[in-house]
């Protein structure tokens, strides 16, 4: 019986030992994985700062990457943190709020004169959507900006302001600029669908039907 009892005790101890080893291995693996991920993140952050410094670009605000700043102790916390790592304040009560960038006003002149031999371009800036700028649409004459607008109606106003111009260079599909008749381009913007296939908040919005598109309108 003593032998049997000893065998039972040894078996239990072995089971406990194996469980402890298993927990240590799993915990150690998780810790090692977290350490590796954190190291990679820090290295990428340092590399990004070095690249921006080499290119002369300004350092973005900490919260630009999703981090949030504490209004109580002014420390910066990771996006998933529910409380401040320094003062332990709840995120809902201590997170600093930053107002969005105010949009720039439209610049739509009464008349824009192209003249013979002038190159008139209607340009769409994809980056303007995320920067809060009005210059989604820009009208350029010989490379000089003469007006800008935030919406397709503003772009239409820019086209209607053109004088002494019959052709406008436009890129409706994002695959290269090409000349289009000004009358056809105006009719296209007056139509029910934006004649532009690139990324634009108004790209999928249909308005009340306006005048039908003229022959030679840019494909939408």
What value does the mean pLDDT of the chain take?
76
Of 79-83, 92-96, 129-133, the least confident: 129-133
The more confidently predicted of residues 93 and 127 is 93
Under 8 Å CB-to-CB from 87, ≥6 apart: which residues?
A: 70, 72, 73, 75, 94
Of 90-99, 152-161, 164-173, the least confident: 90-99
Closest by alpha carbon to 200, among 130, 143, 142, 95? 130
Q: How far apart are CA 149 and CA 157, in angstroms?
A: 9
Residues 60-98, CATH architecture: Roll (2.30)
Closest by alpha carbon to 73, among 54, 56, 89, 92? 89
Under 8 Å CB-to-CB from 178, ≥6 apart: which residues?
A: 169, 170, 171
Question: pLDDT (tens digit, 9 = 90+) per residue, 13-32?
Answer: 777 778 777 878 877 777 77
Domain ranges for the chain: 1-59, 60-98, 103-220
Question: pLDDT (tens digit, 9 = 90+) per residue, 30-74?
Answer: 777 777 777 766 666 666 666 555 555 555 555 556 788 888 898
The more confidently predicted of residues 215 and 101 is 101
The two beta strands, 162-163 and 112-113, are parallel
């Amino acid at each position: 019986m003593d032998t049997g009892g000893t065998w039972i005790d040894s078996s239990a101890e072995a089971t406990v030992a194996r469980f402890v080893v298993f927990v240590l291995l799993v915990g150690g693996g998780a810790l090692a994985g977290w350490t590796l991920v954190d190291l990679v993140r820090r290295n990428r952050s340092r590399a990004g700062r070095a690249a921006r410094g080499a290119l002369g670009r300004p350092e973005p605000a900490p919260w630009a990457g999703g981090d949030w700043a504490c209004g109580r102790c002014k420390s910066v916390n990771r996006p998933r943190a529910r409380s401040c790592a320094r003062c332990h304040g709840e995120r809902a009560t201590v997170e600093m709020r930053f107002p969005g960038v105010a949009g720039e006003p439209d610049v739509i002149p009464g008349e824009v004169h192209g003249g013979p031999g002038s190159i008139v371009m209607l340009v769409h800036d994809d980056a303007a959507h995320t920067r809060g700028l009005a210059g989604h649409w820009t009208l350029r004459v010989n490379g000089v900006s003469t007006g800008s607008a935030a919406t397709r109606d503003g772009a239409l106003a820019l086209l209607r302001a053109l004088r002494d111009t019959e052709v406008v260079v436009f890129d409706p599909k994002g695959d290269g600029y090409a000349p289009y008749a000004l009358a056809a381009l105006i009719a296209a913007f007056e139509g029910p669908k934006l004649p532009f296939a690139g990324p634009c908040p108004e790209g999928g919005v249909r308005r009340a039907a306006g005048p039908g598109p003229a022959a030679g309108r840019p494909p939408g």
